[in-house]
Amino acid sequence: MSTTTPNPPPKTIVEDIAGWLRVYSDGTVDRTWTGPPQILSAFQTIPPTNGDYVDGVATYDVILDPLSDVLLRLYLPLPSPHHPHLPLLLHFQGGGFCVSRPTWRMYHDFYSRLVRSLPAACVSVQTRLAPEHRLPAAVDDCLSALSWLRSSPSDVLASAGVDLTRVFLIGDSSGGNLVHQVAARTGDVSPVRIAGAIPIHPGFVRARRSESEKDLGNESPMLTLDMLDRFLALALPEGETKDHPITCPMGEEGFVGEVVGQMPPMMVVVAEKDLIRDTEMEYVEAARKSGLEVEVLVNEGVGHSFYLNSFAVKEDPKTAEETEKLIDGIRDFVRRH
């Protein structure tokens, strides 16, 4: 008597988030972009130049963990006798913990420009993504990158004159949450010194709606209220809400006296038309009340992660002006610290 193995049921889509990501019933995830094709090039992977300077910047990739999807993208500006010692930006990408790679063109264009302008070196961390790797996996990856800087930094960084006593944490959107987490969890990491922290449009939120979320929920194509809610539902630990300390560090479990005492000076970047503007400013107020040194840079008339929209930076004078203002503000903060 023969038996046959029944065919498995066809997999179905259980989550489809704004063209960015589809989660299937068998647990697999597809991140193929299915949104407007005219912006597909923003998500193009830019290969490293491996020592060749292109537009004044050389890039390298370093595998941080061969068993996972964690790598480091290194940016170095052209050597200059006027800048023999370079500060280092340790960068954490955004994407709601669920999408994006620091090797994408949208990051490559901005961070290449930033390292030229400061000048500075940059190490960008490609973290593991949710829902396959829910939080705190991305936090752990960022801390691993910091440990790598302490114990086995690339010879490329050393030969470029990178000053590990002037390391600045910087992150976009959810990467800003990672900036806070690394700063709060890092004590003495000599020979590395965290000189400052720059969360740009950090994804600080609460379970309850803020006024800016209600007013600006669909203002920016880079982040809508639907995207915010659904990405974080996939990223946070099972059963947790947006009041979790990674997404709500200004909550009851966020700031602790001894933690604030070890955190570096900070510049929080806020966009006037960002739907999470109100909770970002709530974070600033809580940080200052706890004794943390915090500056605020506000970009007027623009929305969430505007500076990563290469098309708007090139075509829209207001976006170009505010991007230049952002770079100037980062340059000034780094020079003063």
- Alpha-carbon distance of 278 to 217, in angstroms, equals 12
Active-site annotation holds for 25: no
From 250, 288, 162, 221, select the one nearest 33 (Cα to Cα): 221
- Edge to edge, the sheet with strand 13-17 lists 13-17, 21-24, 29-30
- Choice among 173, 212, 305, 310 that is catalytic: 173
- Alpha-carbon distance of 114 to 91, in angstroms, equals 12
Active-site annotation holds for 305: no
With beta carbons less than 8 A apart as the criterion, state whether 242 and 270 touch.
Answer: no
From 228, 192, 199, 67, select the one nearest 141 (Cα to Cα): 67
- Choice among 201, 304, 305, 310 that is catalytic: 304
- Alpha carbon 192 to its chain centroid, in Å, reads 21
With beta carbons less than 8 A apart as the criterion, state whether 202 and 176 touch.
Answer: yes
* Cβ count near 97 (within 10 Å): 32
For residue 298, the cross-strand partners are 270
Amino acid at 221: P
* Cβ count near 4 (within 10 Å): 5
- Choice among 109, 141, 172, 274 that is catalytic: 274
- Alpha-carbon distance of 167 to 91, in angstroms, equals 10
Active-site annotation holds for 229: no
Which residues are identified as catalytic? 173, 274, 304
